[in-house]
Amino acid sequence: MAIEEKRVGTLKNHQIALKNRQELSVDGVISVDSFDDQEVILETEEGLLIVRGENLRVSQLNIDAGKLSVNGTVSSLEYMGSSGRKAGFFSKMFR
C-alpha cells in the first residue's frame, strides 16, 4: 500500500487547453519568469514553456494551485529544455 502512495505523489499534472487561439489555460505551473503583451515565459512540471502571440494578458495566476490563464491571440507554444527525464541512448546519439 505504501508503494502505491509514493507513485501517486510523484505523478505530474501538466495540461494545456487553448480555445480558438484566444484563451489559454495551463495547469502544472511552477513559476512565471516573465510576461509582456507578446510573450509569456513560465516553468511547468514538463519544462520551460514559452507562449508567443499578440495582446497577451495574464488573466489568472495561482502558483499554489499551479494554474495560469492567458487571453489574447496565441501564435505559438514552445517547450525549451527538458522535463527532468534523462535522454535515452538514441536521443544522445542523434543530436
Residue-wise pLDDT for 30-87, tens only, equals 999 999 999 999 999 999 999 999 999 999 999 999 999 999 999 999 999 765 544 4
Q: Which residue has the cell 489574447?
A: 72
CATH number of the domain enclosing 78: 2.60.40.2000
Q: Would residue 56 count as lying in a domain?
A: yes
State how far the alpha carbon of 1 is from the alpha carbons of 6, 10, 16, 64, in Å: 9, 15, 32, 28
Confidence (pLDDT) at 89: 47
Report pLDDT for 11: 54
**Is residue 31 situated within a structural domain?**
yes
The parent domain of residue 44 ranges over 13-82
Asked whether residue 89 is domain-assigned, the answer is no
Question: Rounded CA gap, 51 and 92, in Å?
Answer: 27
Split at pLDDT 50, 70, 90, the class of 8 is: very low
Q: What per-residue confidence (pLDDT) applies to 91?
A: 47
6 in a domain, yes or no? no
Q: What nine digits make up the cell of 62?
A: 495561482
Q: pLDDT tens, 11-23?
A: 568 999 999 999 9
The pTM is what? 0.74
Confirm whether 53 is domain-assigned: yes
Residue 7 lies in a domain: no
Number of domains into which the chain is organized: 1
Regarding predicted confidence, which is higher, 68 or 88? 68
Within-domain flag for 74: yes
